[in-house]
Amino acid sequence: MSALVLVVEDEEDLASTLEFNLKREGHATRVAGTGEAALRAAGEDPVPDVILLDLMLPDASGTEICRKLKQEARTRHVPIIMLTAKGEEIDRVIGLEVGADDYVVKPFSVRELMLRVRAVLRRTQSSEPAALPQGERRFADLRVDPDAHRVWVGAFEVTLTALEFKLLTTLLDRKGRVQSREQLLEEVWQMPSELTTRTVDTHVKRLRQKLGHAGDYIETVRGVGYRFLDRPREGT
């Protein structure tokens, strides 16, 4: 599966290491060392299939660039993997405010990043409307339209990242059944399960926050994983 990957990274050594490895995987690359260059490079034809975005750029923060890319009609559907350093606000990065699809913490192994790129690409492909089960799903006041990729709680639309959407539909389609973190990593992230299961927790947490009270429809099953309620609770 070859793709066009935009690498936004001001550390030149890291940028060329990434470029080298991406090319070895059969991908084409575009590299930008500043936020301004990143926005320009993301808008060029053809639009990249994935963007790797450093959080600390000389002229802007990666979160700011990410937000701009997610607002732009041309680039809003392009998955973004943030390259963050330890201690940076990972919750914010992948959450509501910024909307990145995934992240790796520096220093990361190149192998791990390549796996994530592969997973993101697979996910983008498999989340195309034709590949999804058809038809709207409803659960109490939660409404999910897989074709339009839209979610409502009551009258309010909730904006989810592609990954959160897949996480929600995966849980919802197996309601009443426990999904282990490892299963979710495989199904939603499409990654070998030796990778960190904490990723699942972080994303479920953000998904719940975004869904508000409907977030309670997703239960934590201690020591195992998560489960979407079998049926709405009394009074919901």
Helix axis angle, 12-24 to 110-126, nearest 10°: 60
Q: How far is the CB of 51 from Ca ion (least distance, A)?
A: 15
Cis peptide bond N-terminal to 107, omega within 30: yes
DSSP type of residue 161: -
Q: How far is the CB of 57 from Ca ion (least distance, A)?
A: 6
Measured from the CB atom, is 21 or 170 closer to Ca ion? 21
Q: Are strands 28-32 and 50-54 parallel, antiparallel or unpaired?
A: unpaired
Residues near Ca ion (CB under 5 A), total: 3
Q: Is 14 in the site for Ca ion (CB under 5 A)?
A: no
Q: How far is the CB of 1 from Ca ion (least distance, A)?
A: 28
Q: Hey, what's the torsion of the CAs at 207, 93, 91, 233, to 10 degrees?
A: -10
How many whole angstroms separate alpha carbon 100 and alpha carbon 75?
12
Binding part of the chain for Ca ion, among 3-11, 118-126, 162-170, 181-189 by CB under 5 A, reads 3-11
Among 4, 10, 61, 114, binds Ca ion (CB under 5 A): 10
Q: What are phi and psi of 73, to 5 degrees?
A: -55, -40
Q: How far is the CB of 202 from Ca ion (least distance, A)?
A: 22
How many whole angstroms separate alpha carbon 25 and alpha carbon 22?
5
Measured from the CB atom, is 10 or 173 closer to Ca ion? 10
Among 49, 54, 88, 101, binds Ca ion (CB under 5 A): 54
Contact in structure between 120 and 78 (CB atoms under 8 Å): no
Q: How many other C-beta atoms are found inside a 10 Å radius of the C-beta of residue 224?
A: 13
Nearest to 115 by CA among 16, 193, 30: 193
- Please list every residue from 157 through 196 that binds Ca ion, using CB under 5 A: none
Q: How far is the CB of 158 from Ca ion (least distance, A)?
A: 32
Q: Is 114 in the site for Ca ion (CB under 5 A)?
A: no
Which helix (H) or strand (E) is 54 found in, with range?
strand 50-54
Measured from the CB atom, is 61 or 190 closer to Ca ion? 61
Q: How far is the CB of 82 from Ca ion (least distance, A)?
A: 11
Counting Cα atoms < 13 Å in the Cβ hemisphere of 14 gives: 18
Q: Is 64 in the site for Ca ion (CB under 5 A)?
A: no
Among 56, 96, 105, 110, binds Ca ion (CB under 5 A): 56
Binding part of the chain for Ca ion, among 10-18, 126-134, 138-146, 192-200 by CB under 5 A, reads 10-18
Measured from the CB atom, is 47 or 110 closer to Ca ion? 110
Chain residues that interact with Ca ion, rule: CB under 5 A: 10, 54, 56
